[in-house]
């Protein structure tokens, strides 16, 4: 199991494939502004769809903060692509099939809950890779996007 990160910790750069099969790096997204990285257990399940669509519906709010939303799960690229298309998400979905990034950030479970090895967690990361907020909630599908926006709005602007 990975270490659990806390506010103020620095998030290591990583590279994963997005839903189009393109290699993407965290640093590439951070070059444009803060990142809201949310882990979800499985694409195309009811809770993950509700959570992902709430992030989609708040697109203008995240854009106003200059933030990029990124979903991440253990799903393969093709499943991420179907999930993104079916829900017209409009933001990248990264495939972490072996849970390497989830483990590094503390979003990997030590014991699976059903078939799910990934915790529902959100990390709000500032441009310097420092962690502004960590959001834990397995049951409130709207809490992740709502609290991420609060963290972005309350951060000191240069």
3-state secondary structure of 79: helix
48 tagged catalytic: yes
Which residue among 36, 37, 48, 89 is the active-site one?
48
Q: How far is CA 31 from CA 39, 132, 143, 144, in A?
A: 21, 16, 26, 23
3-state secondary structure of 30: helix
3: number of Cβ within 10 Å: 10
Range 69-84 burial, b when 16+ CB lie within 10 A, else e: bbbbbbbebebbbebb
Residue-wise DSSP of 19-40: TTS-EEEHHHHHTTS-EEEEE-
Give the whole-angstrom CA distance, residue 28 versus residue 31. 5
Which residues are known catalytic residues? 48
């Amino acid at each position: 199991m990975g270490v659990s990160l806390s506010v103020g910790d620095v998030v290591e750069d990583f590279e994963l494939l997005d839903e189009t099969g393109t290699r993407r790096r965290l640093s590439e997204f951070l070059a444009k502004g803060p990142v809201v990285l949310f882990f979800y257990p499985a694409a195309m399940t009811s809770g993950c769809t509700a959570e992902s669509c709430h992030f989609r519906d708040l697109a203008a709010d995240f854009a106003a903060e200059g933030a990029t939303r990124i979903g991440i799960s253990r799903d393969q690229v093709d499943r991420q692509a179907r999930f993104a298309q079916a829900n017209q998400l409009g933001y990248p979905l990264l495939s972490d099939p072996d849970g390497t990034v989830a483990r590094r950030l503390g979003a990997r479970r030590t014991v699976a809950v059903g078939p799910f090895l990934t915790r529902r967690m959100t990390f709000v990361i500032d441009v310097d890779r420092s962690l502004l907020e960590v959001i834990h909630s397995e049951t409130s599908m709207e809490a992740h996007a709502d609290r991420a926006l609060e963290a972005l709005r309350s951060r000191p602007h240069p």
